[in-house]
Structure 1
Amino acid sequence: MKQIPNLFTLTNLFLGAVAIVFALQTQSVLIYTNDEFASSFNIPENLSVAALLLFFAAVVDFLDGFVARLFKATSEMGKQLDSLADVVSFGVAPGVIVYQLLRMSYAQEEMGLDVSIFLLLPAFLISCAAAYRLAKFNIDTTQQYGFKGVPTPAVGLLIASFPLILHFPSGFININEWLINKWFLYSVIIVVSWLMVSNLPLLALKFKNFSFKNNQPQFILIALGIVAVLLLRWLAIPVIFIAYIILSLLFKNKQST
């Protein structure tokens, strides 16, 4: 029984590793016209499959903690194993996805297929920040009802939503051009990396009880999330992410860090 939670954790790691394989098999499709190299751009299915695998990994990541508490099988080894799995699934795999999106962004430009790898490597700052964030979390015993810095899985899911937004665009807002814009992607790298390693006080989505007064930001975030998913499809993920940051800052005095 004690090893059952670890099996869930290893499944998380396995899904992250497979996601990396799919992301690396991406082949971009570009169609050029004579209008100053204007192009239409298709995001390959393999990148979307990689993104979906990360969402499955997040579900398994949630379940391993639940199962550990259910079987009273929490352990220091399980904690360390969970962080190692998260580095792969929500650190390395999202870094590869951003790497590929950057590569596709440059590929739209004239001679972009010959882009220097040094212009693409900043994507892995996300992976480094994720590893640092997880190590810091493991030695900090004060983050039970509040986080210091954005949790790595939250950033991983934000990045994973990008290929899915491109593949299944919302009917309300079209941000596809942003998601394959190199400057937007570089900005995302800087912002999410800083958010992970910072000491910004953020909400842990744990309920102390079922009182609305004591869990107001959590209930608001859930309500916003449901509405966003119904209206925006995969674009709901970035909206929920931004709402999470804003609500955390607005209700920071209610957090116990």
Structure 2
Amino acid sequence: MKKQIPNLLTLGNLLCGTIATIYAVQGNFAAAGLLVVIGIFFDFFDGFAARLLGVSGELGKQLDSLADMVTSGVVPGIIMFNLLYQSGFENFNNELIEKEIIAIVSLNDYSLSWFSYLGLLLTLGACYRLAKFNIDTRQSDSFIGLPTPAMSLFVISLPLIQQYSTIEFAQNLMSNSYFLIGITLLLTYLMNAELPLFSLKFKEYSFKNNAVKYLFLLVSLLMIVFLQYIAIPLIIILYVVLSVVQNSSKNKIA
């Protein structure tokens, strides 16, 4: 029974991701986002529980990636698909539309612009990353490429910023097709880039050996308090930037 506790947590992640998928398809992004966050919470603690109980194994590793594929792969892809669809590509001029470069039929029939499917690149990129992660022995204490939960958090924040932010510029940006496509391509690349990123796992808690992690957590907390939903994508950007700076410092010392 002890061996199944981490697996049950992982299945909790999968359940949250499955329900979040339903909400994402329905356009209820707030509910989908909440369930993704809960799923990521389960994802963090299943590994913690496995190490604590000394029951880490190949089954748990594979199960974890399968659950992540739904919560942090399928859901953000569907959300980005919806955002691109809703944006309507207003930045394209009428001449392009008349030439049927963009094939939009009836919104009532939910006939889709083929550009909207670009959002599903996030799902494909997440799948490729998770498959690589399972066979990459370098990623035991750190990450190579942006973790899928970080990508997922970035994406689920976008419709929340659009709906709840009081900053008009931020709202408009979340409705900009070019911006959304750029974010999709960038996140897909970062997930699979040969970019070393630090992990928030602590082997010990001294400030000297964990200064970057403590700085990241402190700044992230302050950003959430003062910026609310806008803080989420900024925290992911900060995570990447701090990792790059840390790696540069290590290379100079070496």
Q: TM-score range by the shorter chain?
A: 0.7 to 0.9
- Give secondary structure in 2 for the equivalent of 1:241: helix
Question: Which residue, 98, 118, 126 being the options, matches 1:122?
Answer: 118
Unaligned runs of 5+ in 1: 27-45
Does 1:81 find its partner at 2:76? no
The question of whether the paired residues in 2 share the 8 Å contact of 1:144 and 1:204 is answered with no
Question: Which residue, 51, 54, 79 being the options, matches 1:97?
Answer: 79
Structure 2 residue aligned with 1:50: 32
1:75-112 alpha-carbon deviations (Å, 9 max, x no partner): 10000000000011101110000001111100868886
Structure 1 residue aligned with 2:4: 3
- Give secondary structure in 1 for the equivalent of 2:56: coil
The question of whether the paired residues in 2 share the 8 Å contact of 1:48 and 1:167 is answered with no
- Give secondary structure in 2 for the equivalent of 1:120: helix
Q: What TM-score comes out, normalization by structure 2 length?
A: 0.86
- Higher helix residue share: 2
Q: Distance in 2 between matches of 1:247 and 1:93?
A: 27
Q: Distance in 1 between matches of 2:198 and 2:168?
A: 28
Does 1:145 find its partner at 2:146? no
Unaligned runs of 5+ in 2: 98-103
* Residue identity matched to 1:230: V
Q: What TM-score comes out, normalization by structure 1 length?
A: 0.85
Structure 2 residue aligned with 1:175: 170
1:38-75 alpha-carbon deviations (Å, 9 max, x no partner): xxxxxxxx121111111111111111112212222211
Q: Distance in 2 between matches of 1:241 and 1:165?
A: 15
Q: CA RMSD in A?
A: 2.0
Aligned residue pairs, count: 235
Does 1:132 find its partner at 2:128? yes
Q: Residues 99 and 217 of structure 1: is their aligned pair in 2 closer, same or farther, counting only changes over 3 Å?
A: same
* Residue identity matched to 1:127: T
Q: Distance in 2 between matches of 1:4 and 1:254?
A: 38
Q: Counterparts of 1:162-241 in structure 2 under 5 Å?
A: 162-169=158-165, 171=166, 174-241=169-236
The question of whether the paired residues in 1 share the 8 Å contact of 2:90 and 2:177 is answered with no
The question of whether the paired residues in 2 share the 8 Å contact of 1:130 and 1:152 is answered with yes
Structure 2 residue aligned with 1:19: 20
- Give secondary structure in 2 for the equivalent of 1:213: coil
